[in-house]
Amino acid sequence: MKNLDELFGPIACFFFYWYNRVKSIFVHPPRTIDPAQIKNILVIKFFGMGSIILAGPMLRALKARFPQARIAVLTFDSNASARIGSMVIL
């Protein structure tokens, strides 16, 4: 597998670099999102409890960026009791 990465990695990087350069000429930049329009956000985390706890800063940043949105976290039942700061995952 490492040999495949060494062989095809530089070729893929070269292709994607030029693809993005050419695409930027023809494709307009995406529109900005008005935070007030976002009502619901679903975050899906299927890894262990540590991954859920480490997601805390990301969830706080989402809440700061979209203060009026309802943020729901979908995870395994075993992670349901995790607390992220003042946030409780239900």
Q: Which residues contact 49 (CB under 8 A, 6 or more apart)?
A: 78, 79, 82
- Mean pLDDT, the chain, rounded, equals 82
Q: Which residues contact 73 (CB under 8 A, 6 or more apart)?
A: 42, 43, 44, 45, 52, 55, 59, 89
**Within 10 Å of residue 82's Cβ, how many Cβ atoms?**
20
pLDDT (tens digit per residue) in 27-51: 877 778 888 899 999 988 877 777 7
Region 7-11 average pLDDT: 89
pLDDT (tens digit per residue) in 15-28: 999 998 998 888 87
Q: Which residues contact 58 (CB under 8 A, 6 or more apart)?
A: 43
pTM, two decimals, is: 0.54
Is the separation of the CB atoms in 45 and 73 below 8 Å? yes
pLDDT value of position 86: 52
